[in-house]
Chain A
Amino acid sequence: MHTLSVYFREARAQVLATWRTPQFLIPSVALPLLFYGVMGLGLSRGREEVAHFMLANYVIFAAIAPAMFGFGAGVAAEREAKLIELKQIAPLPAGGYLIGRLAAALALVGASIGLLGVLAWFGGVKMEPGRWAATLGLGLASAIPFALIGLNVGLRFSSQGATAIANLLFLGFSLFGGLWMPLNIMPDWFTRIAKVMPSYHLGQLSQMLSGMQPMADVQQHVSIVVGISVAALIGAWAAWRRQMA
């Protein structure tokens, strides 16, 4: 009970701290909404399938920034301020700090994807309730691999370096994952890069769940995403242990 309540308090404090940081909150929530409003709804001119296709990509896009920056740059800044050191000494159960931060990132991603869903619904995207839940749910779940990748960056680089690298990864994942522009209009080499991006595989799964693509190669997409997540988890664990040494 005590341990659970510590996790809960830690998560609440992190959510509160994030909520009070508008320079982080606004870009990570507003950017996906703005992009979707302009490119998804604006350019589709009422064609449901375009708005629908773009939504499936944007739920993944909306998860990347809060997960990468909240976890990446955020952890680096607190590490530099020696805040993490104090928490590692304090009787905080193992991983309490990280679980708190992950919960805060998920809350933010949840808010961002929820707003995206509302915008898309008003914009005329039509799906069965089950497909809505699956599409938005996948977006939320995709925050976990991105958060783990961000954590590696945050634990290994200085605050400034982490921000720069997180930005680079954020752009790379979005562009090469085909989240901004459909990959079939891109050259061949582009598609080959896409195959190693977690964002590409998550985007494909999202297209399938939202009914825009037939279910195919699900196992392959899922195992690549899981593989990347496990590798990132091991990397983060090693970096965290090194912090302690």
Chain B
Amino acid sequence: MSPNLPPPIAAISKAVKRRGATLALNGLDLMIRPGQCVALLGPNGAGKSTSVALLTGRLRPDAGEASLLGGDPRDLAARGRMGVMLQEAGLPRTLSVREQIDLFRGYYRKPRPTDEIVRLAGLEGLERRRCGALSGGQQRRVQFALAIAGKPDFLVLDEPTTGMDIDARRALWSAVRAEIARGCAVLLTTHHLDEAEALADRIVVIDHGQAIADGTPEAIKSRVSGVAIRCRSRLSDAELSGLARVTGVSRDGGRVTLLTTSAPATLRELLARDETVDDLTVAGASLEDAVTRLVGTQRQAEAA
């Protein structure tokens, strides 16, 4: 480890956690430093929420370690420097937005002023509304407000933008960027890869409780061979994956995505085999392609 790196805000090392019959975490390592945003990606059941539960002190690892600000995530002092937005947390229906924010900022020793919290979370004009009368997206914004109320050094955002429209998502992203810019460390779990790409400077892809890729969004993207061809084709998946230089095939509605190491080679063969090809686009592989590919490869390797 380089000596001039600041100490990590939150760390999981060699964590093993069994939940029921499944091994939710199988030796996961994760480290988040000040001013860093780490996005945790992976399919459902990969171990994302277990990792969050470990760092927020909800669960203890069976083996290995989880630490927050150099101590136990359950310590009151450590929790006082953390803000958390849980995936499915509710709000008391009968309290107003301002009352709920005031209540939570009161838990912290040096909270932000209420007006600043309201502004950062984009809740102006909604302060006097009862939480029960808010839309799903507005409730998520209140939960974000509660998470940043204490001006935390570590912010956990578990699927933060579910139920939000485009404008609200972008507003939340810029609020998160401002938190990162002042040195706050962020752990983000998300299904939206554009969200990870927009916020994270490091992406950890996990599956079956293990990190299968770890790097910058660009590095993750380059892990899959460069180009994605999208089109409509009458060829079957087996025929498509037999085309020259194809490394992956996936379907989304009527369109297929072919990942390839050489677009010209694949295209020549594709067009020769199927004269009905339509809706054709060629683009650099997206992060989504990269993650799908990584998880797929890992699972094939396990099956073999």
- B166 at the A interface (CB under 8 A): no
- Enumerate 13 A-B pairs (CB-CB under 8 Å) in ascending A order: A9-B103, A10-B103, A13-B95, A17-B92, A21-B94, A83-B90, A83-B92, A89-B84, A90-B84, A90-B146, A91-B79, A244-B58, A245-B59
Per-position binary interface string of chain B over residues 39-61, scored 1 when its CB falls under 8 Å from any chain A CB and 0 otherwise? 00000000000000000111110
Interface 9-mer from B23-31, B106-114, B252-260, B289-297: B106-114
Contact of B94 among A20, A85, A244 (CB under 8 A): A20
**Cβ B104 vs Cβ A90 within 8 A:** yes
In the complex, are the beta carbons of B94 and A17 less than 8 A apart? Answer: yes
Which of B89, B106, B109 is in CB contact (< 8 Å) with A86? B89
By a CB distance below 8 angstroms, the chain B residues around A242 are none
Q: Is the CB of B106 within 8 A of A89?
A: no
Q: Chain A at the B interface: mostly helix, strand, loop or mixed? A: helix
Given contacts A82-B86, A86-B84, A86-B86, 11 further A-B contacts (CB under 8 A): A6-B106, A9-B103, A13-B99, A16-B99, A21-B94, A85-B86, A90-B84, A90-B146, A91-B107, A91-B150, A245-B60
Question: Which A72-97 residues have a C-beta within 8 angstroms of B?
Answer: 78, 81-83, 85-86, 88-94
Contact, CB under 8 Å: A85 / B99: no
A184 at the interface (CB under 8 A from B): no
Task: Give A6 to B106 CA distance when docked, in angstroms.
Answer: 6
Q: With an 8 A cutoff between CB atoms, is A241 at the interface?
A: no
Contacts of B59 in A (CB 8 A): 245
Q: Which residues of B contact A86 (CB under 8 A)?
A: 84, 86, 89, 146
Neighbouring B residues of A13 by C-beta, 8 Å: 92, 95, 99-100, 103
| Nearest-neighbor residue (CB-CB) of B76 within chain A | A91
Check A2 for interface membership: any CB of B closer than 8 A: yes
Would you give the shortest CB distance from A54 to chain B, in whole angstroms? 34
Q: How large is the interface on B (under 10, 10 to 19, 20 to 34, 35 or more residues)?
A: 20 to 34
In the complex, the chain B residue whose C-beta lies closest to that of A81 is: B90
B-chain residues with CB within 8 Å of residue A220 when the two chains form the complex: none
Q: Which residue of the partner chain B has the closest CB to A100? A: B103
> A219 an interface residue at 8 Å Cβ cutoff?
no
Cβ–Cβ contact A83 & B89, under 8 A:
yes
Interface size class of A (residues with CB under 8 A): 20 to 34
Interface string of A15-40 (1 = CB under 8 A from B): 01100110000000000000000000
Specify which of A2, A20, A88 is in contact with B109 (CB 8 Å cutoff): A2
Q: Which of A6, A16, A88 contacts B95 (CB 8 A)?
A: A16
Render B119-157 as a binary contact track against A, CB cut-off 8 A, 1 for contact: 000000000000000000000000000100010000000
In the bound assembly, the distance between CA atoms of A78 and B109 in angstroms comes to 25
Q: How far apart sit A88 and B80, CA to CA, in the bound complex (Å)?
A: 12
Q: Which of A216-245 contact B (CB under 8 A)?
A: 244-245
Determine if B91 is an interface residue (Cβ-Cβ < 8 Å): yes
B88 within 8 A of A: yes
In the A-B complex, the 4 residue pairs with the closest CB atoms: A81-B90, A91-B80, A20-B94, A91-B79
B84 and A92 contacting across the interface, CB-CB below 8 Å:
no
Note all chain A residues with C-beta closer than 8 A to B109: 2
A90 touches B90 (CB 8 A): no
In Å, the complex CA distance between A93 and B109 comes to 12
Which partner residue on chain A sits nearest B149 by CB separation?
Answer: A90
Among residues of A, the one whose C-beta sits closest to the C-beta of B156 is: A89
Other-chain residue from B88, B95, B150 in contact with A17 (beta carbon distance below 8 A): B95
Which chain B residues lie closer than 8 Å to A244 at the CB level?
58
**Chain A nearest Cβ from B95, distance in angstroms:** 6
